[in-house]
Structure 1
């Protein structure tokens, strides 16, 4: 198969999985285009939130990309996709419920007049780190990330604004989030090392 001239839309799902195994982003975009609407509706029925449903769909396809070599082309891709989606949504809902409980407990004990300078500094540092990570993204990745995550636009709106497909929006979000996570993980590890060394020298 000549990848330079291949039309992904004309390939079978099985052929797309084989190409996905080999790292072809076009195959991921095609699989996204095939399944995104029904998957979004499936998640929305449980999530009851369009933004949460979009985030889950995005995370699911990131997971598909990251675990692509584990996908069996001989088995129905839809079953694999929806299994990941259900697990991720349930885990996310549990985490959100847990975090909400923690915040409620904190509100019970925190004095509104208490000095929260340290918390403000930590929040500010996190924002700086995120801004740095975004600034290092390739141009299209950056445009897509800013529109989706910071301006709150849907994939459809971003695709229309940038004259690209929704599949391309998704693949660029996959790249952007992976890059941002790697950058922040690296920065946090470096910061932890500096703190550790500083403590040793004290």
Structure 2
């Protein structure tokens, strides 16, 4: 028999605030399905929805002292979920923009065949740039972008904070972009000198 059976949500929250981990389980069980569906409808990604739901309940435990037991718990829970999802989506959008910039490194000087880098050369440049990354940066980038791991899982595997994973990804993308821009400048200069 569940020892928290018959407890109201308010009572469970009060227990939670008293560092009672067991009180988190019934709150989780009461809300997990609906919350997952809510996030899934917005994100359209099952994996992302699962990650967000787990993160929300971790945040709930971490911020248990700030919960007002007199306010509707569902509203509080969904507000955390929405904020967390929006932050994740903004981060993904930011990284996608940086990756798009990296892909646009074919110089827009004149559309001659000499100046076009084909797909294989582009990939080779990106691979070269990845090899030049500092060790932690490279480890994070490969796990996130090559192996498709979530920031949370990378953080757990490498024993670092999720924020550090994000910072290392931003750094890696910046270094790759700079490396590619530098290589392109050299390539452009060589093509230019060859024609004179």
Fold shared per TM-score above 0.5? yes
Structural mapping, 1:1-202, within 5 Å: 7-109=3-105, 111-114=122-125, 115-116=128-129, 117-119=131-133, 121-122=135-136, 125-126=139-140, 180=156, 183-185=159-161
Residues 57, 99 of structure 1: alpha-carbon distance in 2 compared, 3 angstrom cutoff: same
Separation of aligned partners in 1, 2:158 and 2:7: 33
Deviations 1:126-153 (A, max 9, x none): 49xxxxxxxxxxxxxxxxxxxxx97x9x
| Structure 1 pair 43–15 and aligned structure 2 pair: CA distance change class (3 A) | same
Within 1, Cα distance between the matches of 2:14 and 2:158? 27
How far did 1:180 drift?
3.4
How much has 1:181 moved relative to structure 2?
Answer: 9.0
TM-score (norm 2): 0.59
CA RMSD of aligned residues (A): 3.4
- Structure 1 stretches of 4+ moved >6 Å: none
Unmatched 5+ stretches in structure 1: 128-148, 153-175, 189-202
Gaps of 5+ in 2: 107-121, 142-147, 165-196
Rate the CA distance shift 1:183–1:72 in 2: closer, same or farther, 3 A: same
Aligned length: 138
Q: 1:17 to 1:181 in 2, by over 3 A?
A: farther
Give the distance between the partners of 1:22 and 1:181, measured in 2 at CA. Answer: 31
